[in-house]
Every structure is written in structure tokens, then in C-alpha cells.
Amino acid sequence: MKSTRLTYDPEGDILYITFGQSTPATGYQLSDQILLRVNPQTQQAAGLMLSNFSIHLQENYDLPLPGLNEEPETKAHLLHILQTAPVNHFLQLTEDQQDVSARLRHPTLQEALVG
């Protein structure tokens, strides 16, 4: 079971979520608010970076993820990562015919830290 580390930067209003040990990762800019980090060796989520976190925490709305469409060769794999633990403890996806959006979830402390 991976541990999860949450680090908040109040000056930048950014929440950094690290799954397991910090490791070099490939970043996928899913939107201007969400960056998904993927370990290139294991192809599993290494972390998330959520910009404007306090706004998303107060106003729960869907964020379009246009970055998924910019990565057609990896879209299916990225969707799989986003829809499984531990990422799905923090983001809830909504899909329509062509677009995908995410809503920030409010996990319990146990859900957030255990992953």
C-alpha cells in the first residue's frame, strides 16, 4: 500500500499530492489547473499538482481536461490512471462523447493518506 503525502503552498495556492516515495516522473498537463505525474518505469501515478486549490475547494465545479486530447496515444492509459486509486480519491471524472472533465473530491483524511 502506497503512502500519500499532501503539501500545500499557500503563496501559490497549489496542492501537491505525492503517491509513495518521491520519484522522477513524466508530467501530463491535463488542464491549466491539473498536472498528473506518472512514473515512467511503473506507469503508475506518482502525483498530482492542483493549482488554485482553495478556489476548487470552495467552488465544486467540473474542470475540462483538454490535455487528454493532446495526448491521443496515451489517452486510454491516462484515463485508466485517473479512474483508479489513489488518483480517484482526489478527482472524479465525467466523460461525454468527446470530452472529459474532473471534479475535485473531498476525501476523508484516511482515504487521502492511505491511497
- The predicted pLDDT at position 64 comes to 96
111 vs 19, more confident: 19
Give whole-number Cα distances, 80 to 6, 51, 98, in Å: 22, 22, 16
**pTM for this entry:** 0.90
Residue at grid coordinates 501559490: 12
H-helix or E-strand spanning residue 58: helix 53-58
- The predicted pLDDT at position 98 comes to 80
- The predicted pLDDT at position 75 comes to 93
- The predicted pLDDT at position 73 comes to 87
Q: What is the pLDDT of residues 64-101, one digit of tens each?
A: 999 998 878 899 999 999 999 999 999 999 998 789 99
Residue 103: exposed, middle, or buried by beta-carbon count in 10 A (0-12, 13-18, 19+)? middle
Mean pLDDT of the chain: 90
- Other C-beta atoms within 10 Å of 108: how many? 9
Domain count, the chain: 1
Per-residue confidence at 114, pLDDT binned at 50, 70, 90? low
Domain region containing 98: 4-114
Q: What is the pLDDT of residues 45-54, one digit of tens each?
A: 999 999 999 8
User: Mean per-residue pLDDT for 35-41?
Assistant: 97
